[in-house]
Amino acid sequence: MIAFNLHTLKIDNPAMTVSLKSIMTLTTLFFINACGADNSADSVWRALPLKDTVLLTLPHGKVVIELAPQFSPKHVAQFSQLTQQGFYDQTSFYRVIDGFVAQAGPKDGSKEDRSVPLLAMESEWQTDKKWTYTPVQANDLFAEQTGFKDSFALGYQASKDSNFGKAWLTHCPGTVAMARNNEVDSASSHFYVVIGQAPRYLDGIMTIFGRVVYGMQHIQAIQRTEAVEGDYAVDHRDYTKIVTMQLMSDVAKADRIHIEVENTESTKFAERLVKRKAREGAFFYKKPPPVLDVCQIPIRSRRVK
Amino acid sequence: MIAFNLHTLKIDNPAMTVSLKSIMTLTTLFFINACGADNSADSVWRALPLKDTVLLTLPHGKVVIELAPQFSPKHVAQFSQLTQQGFYDQTSFYRVIDGFVAQAGPKDGSKEDRSVPLLAMESEWQTDKKWTYTPVQANDLFAEQTGFKDSFALGYQASKDSNFGKAWLTHCPGTVAMARNNEVDSASSHFYVVIGQAPRYLDGIMTIFGRVVYGMQHIQAIQRTEAVEGDYAVDHRDYTKIVTMQLMSDVAKADRIHIEVENTESTKFAERLVKRKAREGAFFYKKPPPVLDVCQIPIRSRRVK
């Protein structure tokens, strides 16, 4: 008993039916695969390119991060370069606040810290009429529209005449972004992963450049550095260290973790959103409001050989 | 460098000023304390009664749960009784989905499982004109109004003539609620803790009866039971067990953890909400929308001797 099977998190498993449409779909799929594209409307899964994938090895587990060079090219370039230099190896998660963020980087003010160039903010971009995304929800508390693009959650605001607009990646659990000082263009190497309720008030003023696609439970298990008032202080020697941070393309073949993620541009994904909003099934004896929090839609990952 | 001090999570530390109002306030405070009340507008902290506090001991750490008998009396009564019988000791967290919930209880269909009476839903209640709460946000995606009452996050909807309304506790990270089958009144002993982005579509159709006030990081570190597709399956022998679950009043005095929580009925708390919404400080070189997600306002706890 106690099903509590919120099937919304389970993999959709519709009965197999082969229609003319499916056959046409299949044909298209083969064609598109042959061209190397993988986010057509018919591909449920999208393989992550090894060079845009990071393997973060923690003492207690392995984590995979998908980088977003299409949204934050300079941040990804610098982060990738530092990663390749072994810059993050043996650095600590020195600011870990339960329900908020796990932040890591070199020792504050150290030679390594000061050696890294500052980056210009890459938090939002202009869109034109041709730009597309998968819409999720209108009139979200923090955005006129929310949606997904390339599996990343985003906010969108159209111009008054709808001829163009602006879009920005949004902070959800698992989001990887660069920390900064008070100045807008002051990020360098310190990064954080969101480990609690989406701090969306940071949207548009921080550069998001990746997201955790595997091993998020190990990020959640990182030693907190801030204790509850009145409790025993956390010893800095207990802080969780990064064992190694590597681009997946630099990892020995046998040790690579190959991940495919849900293609948010697919027809199946759009269908899943509709279904999730409707909350069908006997469990929902009373229907919740037909709305979706863009950060409460898990984007599935799978491990492939 | 890299301050990234989102002071919003830090304790407000305004300069001390003694005004006539403060002195009057102080007098009131003494009076109220003498009566045993502790959620007056002037008490920043509220001590948790030992009998409505649960000590959940996990293999890797101690967790404290505040129960909510004022909102869900029957669920709290049954949960407390089971806890006192040692019912949960050595049971497992058998359904732990990263970003969603950690659920525990007896073995499905076992004698223990079947022995527990079913409970009638206690998910919302009617309010009258005298009922008060601390408002947070209007036109939240899931509620006409959100707010807090006795440190619990809630949703509120007024009747058309505003003479009465309904209120319900809302699912936030750390929320403790009873699982159920498809039927509305089918909860018994299986409970879950929210460990990811607030699943607010469950509001009003599940009974929330507590919240984690200490040790949430240990809940976050519970072994997940569902693996990513294609990954090594999680062995059920690795599931995290509850070592013991006790009412704090039943714990040996030396082992008790005394917690005080932020009094959400205080003037100071209302001030903190205004400040948090305004996002003052040089860090916010561009202001986010002046809105608050009720689940993204950490209610502080402190440990006292």
Tens place of pLDDT per residue across chain B (305 aa):
334 433 333 322 222 222 333 333 333 333 333 333 467 788 999 999 999 999 999 999 999 999 999 999 999 999 999 999 999 999 999 999 999 999 999 998 999 999 999 999 999 999 998 999 999 999 999 999 999 999 999 999 998 887 899 999 999 999 999 999 999 999 999 999 999 999 999 999 999 999 999 999 999 999 999 999 999 999 999 999 999 999 999 999 999 999 999 999 999 999 999 999 999 999 999 999 999 999 999 999 999 98
Q: What is the ipTM of this complex?
A: 0.89
Residue A8 has pLDDT above 80, yes or no: no
Nearest CB to A286 within list B105, B142, B205: B205
pLDDT of residue B22: 35
Edge-to-edge strand ranges of the sheet holding A61-67? A92-96, A101-105, A191-194, A175-178, A207-214, A61-67, A53-58, A244-247
Establish if A11 touches chain B: CB-CB under 8 angstroms: yes
**Identity (one letter) of the amino acid at A251?**
V
Cβ neighbour number for residue A283 with a 10 Å cutoff? 18
Give the C-alpha distances (Å, rounded to integers) separating A286 from A69, A117, B182. 43, 54, 11
The SS3 assignment for A107 reads coil
Tally Cβ neighbours within 10 Å of residue B151.
Answer: 22
Residue B110 near residue B246 (C-beta atoms within 8 A): no
Which chain A residues are Cβ-neighbours of B289 within 8 angstroms?
141-142, 201
The shortest C-alpha distance from B24 to chain A (Å) reads: 28
- Strand runs labelled E in B116-272: 124-127, 134-138, 145-149, 152-158, 165-169, 175-178, 191-194, 207-214, 244-247, 258-262
Question: A–B: how many Cβ contacts below 8 A?
Answer: 198
Looking at residue B147, its amino acid is G
Rounded to the nearest angstrom, the minimum Cα separation between B109 and chain A is 6
- How do strand B145-149 and strand B165-169 relate by DSSP bridges? unpaired
Interface of B with A in 50-79 (CB under 8 A): none
Q: What local confidence, expressed as pLDDT, does residue A145 receive?
A: 98
pLDDT band, very low/low/confident/very high, at A30 (cuts 50, 70, 90):
very low
Cα–Cα distances in angstroms (integers) from residue A80 to residues A74, A77, B68, B293, in the given order: 10, 5, 48, 33
Nearest to B51 by CA among B232, B201, B293, B247: B247
> In sequence order, what DSSP letters do the residues of B6-29 get, joined into one string?
-GGGSPP-PPP---HHHHHHHHHH
> Looking at the complex, does the CB of residue B214 fall below 8 Å from at least one CB of chain A?
yes
Nearest to A141 among B141, B179, B195 (CB): B141
Query: How many C-beta atoms lie closer than 10 Å to residue B169's C-beta?
Result: 27
Mean pLDDT for A238-262 is 98
pLDDT (mean) for A132-136: 97
Please list, residue by residue across B234-243, b when 16 or more beta carbons sit within 10 angstroms of its beta carbon and e when fewer do: eeeeebbbbe
Distance CA A177, CA A190 (A): 9
Look at A121-135, A138-152, B31-45, B291-305 and tell me which has the smallest mean pLDDT.
B31-45
Q: How far is CA B156 from CA A70, A217, B148, B159, B226, in A?
A: 41, 33, 10, 10, 35
Q: In the block, which residue shows the tokens 């860090």?
A: B283
Domains of chain B are 49-304 (2.40.100.10)
Which stretch of A30-34, A269-273, B90-94, B213-217 has the lowest confidence by average pLDDT?
A30-34
